[in-house]
C-alpha cells in the first residue's frame, strides 16, 4: 500500500522516483504511516498538499 501511495504522490507532483525529492517524499509516507495514518486515501490526501520538496 505504501508503494502505491508513493507512486501516486510522485506522479501527481511530477517527481522522478530516483531523485532526492522522491527520497524526501518517501520519508514523509513512512513518517505518516508510523504516526498512525493507516488509510490509503488519507495518506494520498495528505501527500497531495502544498508541501514543497526542494
Return the higher-pLDDT residue of 50 and 14: 14
pLDDT, position 8: 95
Strand, helix or coil for residue 42? helix
pTM of the model: 0.86
Reference 29, options 8, 10, 2, 53; nearest CA is 2
Domain that holds residue 34: 2-47
Q: Give the chain's domain count.
A: 1
Placement of cell 518517501 in the chain: 26
The verdict on residue 54 lying in a domain is no
Query: Is pLDDT of 29 > 80?
Result: yes
Under the banding of pLDDT at 50, 70 and 90, the label for residue 48 is confident
The verdict on residue 53 lying in a domain is no
Q: What percent of the chain has pLDDT over 90?
A: 85
Amino acid at each position: 500500500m505504501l508503494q502505491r501511495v508513493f507512486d501516486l504522490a510522485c506522479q501527481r507532483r511530477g517527481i522522478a522516483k530516483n531523485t532526492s525529492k522522491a527520497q524526501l517524499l518517501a520519508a514523509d509516507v513512512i513518517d505518516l504511516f508510523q504516526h498512525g495514518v493507516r488509510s490509503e486515501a488519507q495518506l494520498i490526501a495528505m501527500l497531495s498538499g502544498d508541501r514543497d520538496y526542494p
